[in-house]
Copies of this chain bind each other. A is one copy, B any other.
Amino acid sequence: MIRLCIWNEFRHELREPVKSLYPEGIHRAIADGIDCEGIDIRFATLDDPEQGLSDEILNNTDVLIWWAHLAHREVADSLAAKIRDRVLAGMGLIVLHSGHMSKIFQAVMGTSCTLRWRQIGEKERLWTVDPSHPIVKGVPETFTLEHEEMYGEPFGIPDDGKIVFMSWFAGGDVFRSGVTFQRGAGKVFYFAPGHETFPTYYDRNVLKVISNAVRWAAPAEYFPIECRKWAEPEEKVQ
């Protein structure tokens, strides 16, 4: 059983126009849409006690999905640090859309994570770059979102990202829109689509990608981060 926690900022959905589109929040739309077999889902939001992620919850989460936009700064530094440590120990992390500017994503990337953007609701077409990757299983070679926010290059991420998807935008931009990383024992997946004013989290292909990503990111086991570790010599030292 994969213990999935979907963390959502849950501020946009409190008022229109997002309220009508995601009346119970983006987190519940994702939970309702993905294939839940073998997955145990819980929710957490920014305005929950302890910002939704007590130690008890975090230590019982195998994969964490993160959606946020307006309130990155409100997330406690100490919480971002705890999540980072949990990722390094093996927890999977799936960062969606505007989460690219979250403290936790920047913390595990070590870079700016900045990008070009344009919110005019243009067409986005995604392409699978690695057809053999488990995250694209069952997803067509290309699929289209009729209206999305444009996220474009240059994207400020490190070079060890394995590109799974690249996106084309009607307005003339391109983007590495699905990228995986390993940080310590933990797997990280950044997936770009998901602006709050569009029905992206009702799209069959987007949901399939997230379903696959949860399974891909789940750890087989955990590896506690040790501090610098004293080691006895294995060989005799004169």
Contact = CB atoms under 8 A, between A and B. Distances in A.
Contacts of A134: 220
A59 interface: no
A152 B127 contact: yes
Nearest to A159: B160
Interface in A110-160: 110-112, 114-118, 120, 122-123, 125, 127-132, 134, 137, 141-142, 144, 150, 152-156, 158-160
A184 B162 CA distance: 13
Nearest to A117: B228
A223 B221 CA distance: 30
A229 interface: yes
A144 B173 CA distance: 12
A152 B231 CA distance: 9
A122 B237 CA distance: 7
B233 A125 contact: no
Contacts of A122: 233, 237
Nearest to A100: B228
A182 interface: yes
B110 A225 contact: no
A118 B160 contact: no
Interface string A79-117: 000001100101000000000010000011111101111
**Chain copies in the assembled complex:** 4
Contact of A237 (B111, B170, B230, B231): B170
Given A122-B237, A172-B168, A233-B122, A111 B127 contact: no
Contacts of A85: 112
B118 A225 contact: no
A118 B172 contact: no
Contact of A116 (B110, B231, B235): B231
B174 A117 contact: no
A183 interface: yes
A227 interface: yes
A174 B168 CA distance: 6
A171 interface: yes
A35 B183 CA distance: 30
A229 B117 contact: yes
4 smallest A-B Cβ distances: which pairs?
A171-B233, A172-B234, A160-B160, A132-B185
